[in-house]
Amino acid sequence: MTDLILANAEIVFEDTVMRGALTLREGQIESITPGRAVPPGALDCDGDLLIPGLIELHTDNLERHIEPRPSVDWPHAAAILAHDGELASVGITTVFDAMRVGSIPNSKGRYLKYARDLASELMGLRAAGALRINHYLHLRAEVCSETLEAELAEFTPEDRVGIVSLMDHTPGQRQFRDITQLRTYVQKKRQMNDAEFEDHVAHLKTLRAANGDRHEAAAVAEASRLGAVLASHDDTTAAHVQTSASYGISLAEFPTTVEAAEACQAQGIKVMMGAPNLIRGGSHSGNVAAHELADAGLLDILSSDYVPSSLMTAAFLLADLWDDLPRAIATVTASPARAAGLADRGRIGEGLHGDLVRIARIEGTPVIRGVWCHGRQVG
């Protein structure tokens, strides 16, 4: 790799902003110097912000590219490359690609197995040098399913599984306490009539009763075997959080109530909320609004969830809400890096990865002017 100097930038550190320059060498940040000087051959950032590359812990975006319409199976290599390029274009330089494990093949609302094959295709493209950014796996372990144990067993510590999250989409609790919200979502996506939806709900409840506790224990054990961070999903009550803490969970994805978020903070569990929730002003499922947790000091990490570009937009909304740019940028960089156990990125410092984003703000909107991953420009 050739050396690169990014000069005359407003460099955003974890607790301050400094005008200066940094030098990238062999994919890492070699040095940082204060001042407005632009050395010969340097790229003049002209006062633009320079922040660490964004780190995305939970995104359904790859699934969206694989299945752009219900029952449409898009060519996987093309979908993976499109997903990778989209993330690079919005400043994400490390992603934990969410893939569901735990299938329901025997019902109208069936979910079929796909994660193992898709993960192999993704890692094959990575090994071939075809991807622009860093990819890890996030296995969404659906305990309300038929096949979770067998699907988890197919993964090994060599598969770059960084996160295993405990998912429980049994109707009537957590994300879908309001069955009406579930009805709207499922009937639209799966073209079910009312009778088919009622059968689907009954089937899921039967699966949870038969398999749920065993699947939950298996997922906790498999996360340990794979060397992955264990996360909860849609904690709703203090009791849910207490159970999460007993499993050693350190990351809570999208708690649905203030009660759960407060319990997470008391247990030292980091709270992650959806950037679309923050931008829209509320949850599409009717759960707690991200801005409510941000106002209460209960929000640690943002995830783009289903809109990759939302991550940058939401970070700057937080910066305005908190009047604290470094703190807001940390919710999409340093904080997710720590939650995922990544010590070599998410911050700007000598010896760390050369993952950087150059940003201008035009009428308050962040405009990306350059993205570098391991010192190589990717966007």
In which element (H, E) is residue 126 found? helix 115-127
Q: What is the pLDDT of residue 211?
A: 78
What is the spatial distance between Cα 35 and Cα 19, in angstroms, rounded to a whole number?
6
Cα first-last separation, the chain: 17
54-344 CATH, one of 3.20.20.140, 1.10.3210.10, 3.50.50.60, 3.30.360.10:
3.20.20.140
Q: Extract the tokens encoding 249.
A: 């969970």
Task: Kindly tell me the number of DSSP H helices and DSSP E strands found in the chain.
Answer: 13, 16
What is the spatial distance between Cα 346 and Cα 342, in angstroms, rounded to a whole number?
8
Q: What is the pLDDT of residue 70?
A: 78
In which element (H, E) is residue 65 found? helix 61-66
Q: Where does the chain hold its CATH 3.20.20.140 domain(s)?
A: 54-344
Q: Where does the chain hold its CATH 2.30.40.10 domain(s)?
A: 1-52+345-379
Say if CB 7 and CB 44 are below 8 A apart.
yes
| Model confidence pLDDT, tens digit, residues 61-86 | 999 999 998 778 999 999 999 999 99
Classify residue 305 by its DSSP letter: B
CA–chain centroid gap for 278, Å, is: 15
Tell me the Ramachandran region of residue 227: left when phi exceeds 0, alpha when psi lies from -120 to 50, beta otherwise: left
| Model confidence pLDDT, tens digit, residues 169-200 | 666 566 666 666 665 666 555 666 667 666 76
| Count of Cβ atoms closer than 10 Å to residue 27 Cβ | 14
What is the spatial distance between Cα 172 and Cα 189, in angstroms, rounded to a whole number?
19
What is the spatial distance between Cα 356 and Cα 345, in angstroms, rounded to a whole number?
10
SS3 content of the chain, % helix, strand, coil (to 5): 40, 25, 35
Residue 64 burial (10 A CB sphere; 0-12, 13-18, 19+) = middle
What is the spatial distance between Cα 159 and Cα 174, in angstroms, rounded to a whole number?
30
pLDDT of the chain, 379 residues: tens digit per residue: 568 999 999 999 999 999 999 999 999 999 999 999 999 999 999 999 999 999 999 999 999 999 998 778 999 999 999 999 999 999 999 999 999 998 887 665 567 899 999 999 999 999 999 999 999 999 999 988 888 999 999 999 999 999 999 988 666 566 666 666 665 666 555 666 667 666 767 777 777 777 778 999 999 999 999 999 999 999 999 999 999 999 999 999 999 999 999 999 999 999 999 999 999 998 877 789 999 999 999 999 999 999 999 999 999 999 999 999 999 999 999 999 999 999 999 999 999 999 999 999 999 899 999 999 999 999 9
Which residue, 345, 347, 349, is CA-closest to 374? 345
CATH fold of 1-52+345-379 reads Urease, subunit C; domain 1 (2.30.40)
Q: What is the pLDDT of residue 149?
A: 95
